[in-house]
């Protein structure tokens, strides 16, 4: 077992995070949390809404990119930011999630895209690890 | 990691990494840099990324690296690659998510010393007329049909709808409209994002600046551009907003499987590509043109709003408050062009990511008044520092596929900048230096601090000494509007 962690790592022009988790579900949930922490925060005390998400992709990395892109799309088009998520991976290419969203009144920075730059979900002795670079 | 001793020096401002450096390189990498800027480039992974780009299939010549290079994602920012058309490839990631991110410059006859007391009001008026920040909507809401017209017509849509003058379009790269746009190649998601974003600046390193024309180096060219020492000028730096970001994301995802179909092996998944003459490649080009045209139109609408802000603030206080377009140019784009490569005219797709087209004198696409001088090149510096107006040269046509640098280039990571610089302190410092700041986000402001960037004057020194651009004027900021 590892402590599930997400940390910002150095990148000259863009933003990058490293996520470590004991299982893939937690890796996806933490990646979303790490991305949201970079761009803003939900309004304290604001009411939240919950909705399901289903995604399918060609491979595990693409599923991860699609998951994070989905959250960015909701943020940009509905001004709703992720508060909490519960991810269930049906396989390495299919995801079911429940996301809790809140109004995003205070955004710090725009993420233009989730990139595939050196994106590789690696299995370690203690779980899984991935580094994600965001274009800002 | 690449070291200086792995390179050979071609001349005072050019270095080469030969194909022998790594066995999968198909072409050399040529770097435009002084000794100091080369050392700075060696400080991150930008040259490693250029070496990765040198493995792309169908490259017609060396991968080029501009002196403002810094680490990006996949392809370095400040990189140029030319692939043979139509048998070579196109790589969306080598153009970037912000398709047709670019710069527009407007000149004026307003003397800075005449309006110094009104600059704070001008900053406020620009800030309220030109929406900026994350998730902000513009004043022009479009239905899908109108958005698709913008995809096909670019700045022409703005002209028809009262946001432009004919001269604005004549003084825009490709007259503000790239041919071959097909809205059917654009996803419904991209259209949904684009519908509310026309006439918005966005966030990050995008800005509107009011500058002082501090020094003119080429009086005839500056005169043709309407740039006068001591007068105000306006720069607008932004791109295709969420519309372009979504288009690039869609195609980077789609090309993940295309590379497998075409048997293309790459060192980084972000470099995914497809042959230019494949169905996937053609559709990306058609979609990229839609985003490029949206970006031209976006900067045009912002220029219209900037003119309104000038009128609101300065009418009745100065004799002439009008803003005249100097030029508008992209620095993230893929273009089909003809260049002499290996002594032969060759049709290529030039990928410029954080690099500016810089065509020399006599180029047919230029308006008549610029023909003797070459294409204007607009180089924004970092916030609070100088920007430059340059010209394309015969040297840029011969050495760099008609390309030059695009800005100052970062040296400090965003994380380090956030850690070391406090946004409010920076704002105060800039205000003390006489720069009026309107910023949506103080942490965002800190990340864009001048100390996070290279010295733009050093970058300009390299491109002019290398002969891939020549100087027209140096601008210094008076007002900065940031998202």
B-chain residues near A110 (CB < 8 A): 134-135, 202-204, 483
The pLDDT of residue A74 is 95
On whether the CB atoms of residues B66 and B406 are closer than 8 A, the answer is: yes
How far is B158 from B161, CA to CA, in rounded Å?
5
Res. B12: pLDDT tops 70: yes
Res. B18: pLDDT tops 60: yes
Average pLDDT for B183-197: 96
pLDDT tens track for B196-232: 999 999 887 899 999 999 999 999 999 999 999 999 9
On whether the CB atoms of residues B287 and B272 are closer than 8 A, the answer is: no
The pLDDT of residue A24 is 97
Q: Do B204 and A109 touch (CB under 8 A)?
A: yes
How far is B112 from B114, CA to CA, in rounded Å?
5
The pLDDT of residue B321 is 97
List B residues 312-371 in contact with A (Cβ-Cβ < 8 A): none
pLDDT band at B170 (very low <50, low <70, confident <90, very high): very high
pLDDT tens track for B295-336: 999 999 999 999 999 999 999 999 999 999 999 999 999 999
pLDDT tens track for B467-481: 999 999 999 999 999
Rounded to the nearest integer, the mean pLDDT of chain B is: 95
Cα A110 → chain centroid:
15
The pLDDT of residue A10 is 82
Res. B133: pLDDT tops 90: no
The pLDDT of residue B414 is 83
Which tokens go with B294? 């949206």
Average pLDDT for B241-265: 97
How far is A113 from B246, CA to CA, in rounded Å?
8
The pLDDT of residue B202 is 86
Strands B63-73 and B29-32: parallel
The pLDDT of residue A71 is 96
Is B406 considered catalytic here? yes
Helix axes B279-314, B144-153, angle to 10 degrees: 100
Buried b (16+ CB within 10 A) or exposed e, B287-315: bbbbbbbbbbbbbbbbbbbbbebbebbbe
Kindly report which listed range (A19-28, B87-96, B208-217, B423-432) carries the lowest average pLDDT score.
B423-432
List B residues 36-55 in contact with A (Cβ-Cβ < 8 A): 44, 46
| A7/B contact by beta carbon, under 8 A | no
On whether the CB atoms of residues B112 and B214 are closer than 8 A, the answer is: no
How far is A134 from A111, CA to CA, in rounded Å?
6
DSSP characters over B281-334:
HHHHHHHHHHHHHHHHHHHHHHHHHHHHHHHHHHBTTBS----EEEEEEESEEE
Shortest CA gap A106–chain B (Å): 9
pTM over 0.90: yes
- The larger pLDDT score, comparing residue B286 to residue B415, is at B286
Strands A106-107 and A122-124: unpaired
Res. B391: pLDDT tops 90: yes
Res. A2: pLDDT tops 70: no
| B429/A contact by beta carbon, under 8 A | no
The pLDDT of residue B250 is 98
Q: Do A12 and B415 touch (CB under 8 A)?
A: no
DSSP state of B84: E
How far is B11 from A74, CA to CA, in rounded Å?
51
| B203/A contact by beta carbon, under 8 A | yes
Res. A106: pLDDT tops 70: no
pLDDT band at B137 (very low <50, low <70, confident <90, very high): confident
| Percent of chain B's residues with pLDDT above 70 | 100
User: B70, B304, B331, B406: which one is catalytic?
Assistant: B406
B35 CB burial (10 A radius; 0-12, 13-18, 19+):
exposed
Choose, out of A109, A133, A136, the residue to mutate when testing the contact with B (most B CBs < 10 Å): A109
A-chain residues near B413 (CB < 8 A): 10-12
pLDDT tens track for B266-301: 999 999 999 999 999 999 999 999 999 999 999 999
How far is A34 from B383, CA to CA, in rounded Å?
28
How far is B62 from B79, CA to CA, in rounded Å?
11
Average pLDDT for A30-40: 92
Cα B75 → chain centroid:
15
A-chain residues near B242 (CB < 8 A): 76
Res. A1: pLDDT tops 70: no
B-chain residues near A39 (CB < 8 A): 134
Res. A108: pLDDT tops 70: no
Average pLDDT for B187-196: 96
Q: Is the dihedral of CA B340, B345, B350, B356 positive or negative?
A: positive
The pLDDT of residue A107 is 67
How far is B13 from B37, CA to CA, in rounded Å?
10
Measuring CA to CA, how many Å separate B303 from each of B89, B116, B298, B389?
35, 21, 9, 18
A-chain residues near B135 (CB < 8 A): 75-76, 79, 104, 107, 110
The pLDDT of residue A28 is 98
The pLDDT of residue B85 is 97
pLDDT band at A43 (very low <50, low <70, confident <90, very high): low
pLDDT band at B384 (very low <50, low <70, confident <90, very high): confident
- The larger pLDDT score, comparing residue B84 to residue B411, is at B84
Average pLDDT for A13-20: 92
How far is B88 from B275, CA to CA, in rounded Å?
6
How far is B478 from A13, CA to CA, in rounded Å?
25
pLDDT band at B440 (very low <50, low <70, confident <90, very high): confident
Res. B136: pLDDT tops 80: no
| Percent of chain B's residues with pLDDT above 90 | 87
Length of chain A: 136
Strand partners, B211: B233, B477
pLDDT band at B132 (very low <50, low <70, confident <90, very high): confident
Cα B461 → chain centroid:
19
How far is B383 from B213, CA to CA, in rounded Å?
16
Choose, out of B415, B416, B448, B453, the residue to mutate when testing the contact with A (most A CBs < 10 Å): B415
DSSP characters over B420-442:
H--HHHHHHHHHHTT-EEEES-H
Strand partners, B438: B481
């Amino acid at each position: 077992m590892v402590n599930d962690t997400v940390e910002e790592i150095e990148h000259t022009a863009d933003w990058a995070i490293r996520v470590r988790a004991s299982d893939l579900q937690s890796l996806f949930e933490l990646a979303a949390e790490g991305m949201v922490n970079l761009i803003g925060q939900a309004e304290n005390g604001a009411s939240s809404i919950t909705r399901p998400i289903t995604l399918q992709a060609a491979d595990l990395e693409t599923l991860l990119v699609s998951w994070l892109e989905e959250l960015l799309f909701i943020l940009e088009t509905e001004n709703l930011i992720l508060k909490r998520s519960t991810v269930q991976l049906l396989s390495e290419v299919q995801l079911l999630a429940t996301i809790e969203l809140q109004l995003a009144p205070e955004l710090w920075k725009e993420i233009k895209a989730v990139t595939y730059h050196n994106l590789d979900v690696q299995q370690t002795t203690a779980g899984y690890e991935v580094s994600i670079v965001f274009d800002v | 990691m690449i070291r200086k001793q792995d390179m050979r020096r071609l001349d005072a401002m050019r270095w080469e990494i030969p194909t022998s450096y790594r066995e999968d390189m198909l072409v050399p990498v040529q770097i435009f840099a002084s000794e100091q800027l080369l050392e700075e480039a060696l400080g991150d992974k930008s040259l490693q990324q250029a070496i990765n780009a040198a493995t792309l299939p169908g490259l017609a010549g060396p991968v080029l690296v501009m002196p403002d290079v810094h680490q990006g994602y996949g392809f370095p920012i400040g990189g140029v690659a030319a692939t043979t058309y139509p048998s070579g490839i196109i790589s969306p990631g080598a153009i970037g998510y912000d398709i047709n991110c670019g710069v527009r410059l407007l000149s004026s006859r307003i003397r800075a010393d005449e309006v110094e007391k009104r600059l704070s009001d001008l900053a406020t008026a620009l800030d309220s007329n030109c929406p900026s920040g994350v998730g902000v909507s513009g004043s022009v809401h479009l239905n899908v049909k109108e958005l698709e017209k913008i995809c096909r017509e670019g700045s022409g849509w703005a002209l028809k709808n009262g946001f432009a003058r004919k001269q604005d379009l004549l003084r825009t790269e490709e007259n503000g409209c790239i041919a071959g746009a097909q809205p059917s190649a654009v996803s419904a998601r991209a259209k949904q994002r684009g519908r509310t974003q026309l006439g918005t600046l966005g966030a990050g390193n995008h800005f509107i600046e009011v500058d002082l024309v501090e020094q003119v180096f080429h009086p005839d060219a500056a005169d043709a551009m309407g740039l006068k020492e001591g007068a105000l000028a306006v720069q607008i730096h932004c791109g295709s907003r969420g519309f372009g970001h979504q288009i690039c994301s869609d195609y980077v995802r789609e090309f993940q499987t295309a590379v497998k179909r075409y048997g293309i092996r790459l060192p980084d998944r972000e470099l995914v590509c497809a042959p230019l003459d494949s169905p996937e490649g053609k559709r990306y080009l058609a979609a990229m043109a839609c985003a490029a045209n949206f970006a031209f139109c976006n900067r045009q609408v912002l220029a219209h709003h900037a003119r309104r802000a000038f009128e609101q603030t300065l009418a009745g206080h100065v004799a002439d408050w009008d803003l005249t377009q100097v030029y508008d140019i992209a620095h993230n784009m893929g273009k089909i062009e003809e260049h002499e490569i290996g002594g032969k005219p060759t049709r290529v797709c030039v990928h410029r990511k954080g690099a500016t087209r810089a065509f020399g004198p006599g180029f047919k696409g230029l308006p008549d008044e610029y023909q003797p001088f070459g294409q204007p090149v607009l180089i924004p510096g970092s916030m609070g520092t100088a920007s430059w107006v340059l010209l394309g040269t015969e040297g840029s046509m011969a050495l760099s596929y008609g390309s030059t640098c695009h800005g100052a280039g970062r040296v400090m990571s965003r994380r380090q900048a956030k850690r070391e610089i406090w946004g409010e302190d920076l704002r105060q410092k800039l205000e003390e230096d006489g720069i009026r700041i309107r910023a949506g986000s103080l942490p965002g402001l800190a990340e864009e601090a001048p100390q996070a960037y290279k010295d733009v004057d050093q970058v300009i020194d390299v491109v002019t000494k290398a002969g891939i651009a020549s100087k027209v004027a140096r601008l210094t900021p008076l007002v900065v509007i940031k998202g």
